[in-house]
Amino acid sequence: MFSVNFTEYSQSVTEFLNKAVALGLAQLSHLEIDQKSPLRGYVNAILRFSDDSELHIREFFDGTQAEPRVMYAYHYQDAETNLRFRYDNALHRPPIGQKEHKHTTSGVVPVFPPSLQEIIDEALGYL
Confidence class for position 1, pLDDT limits 50, 70, 90: very low
Give the residue from 6, 2, 13 showing the smallest Cα distance to 115: 13
* The pLDDT of residue 2: 53
CA 78 to chain CA mean position, Å? 16
Q: What is the pLDDT of residues 68-97, one digit of tens each?
A: 999 999 999 999 999 999 999 987 666 666
SS3 (DSSP) at 30: strand
Distance, CA of 17 to CA of 1 (rounded, Å)? 30
Q: Give every CB contact of residue 16 below 8 A, 6+ residues apart in sequence.
A: 116, 117
pTM: 0.91
Question: Which of residues 34 and 107 earns the better pLDDT score?
Answer: 34
Q: Mean pLDDT over all residues of the chain?
A: 92
User: Considering the chain, what percentage of its residues have pLDDT values greater than 70?
Assistant: 93
Give the residue from 51, 59, 53 showing the smallest Cα distance to 16: 59
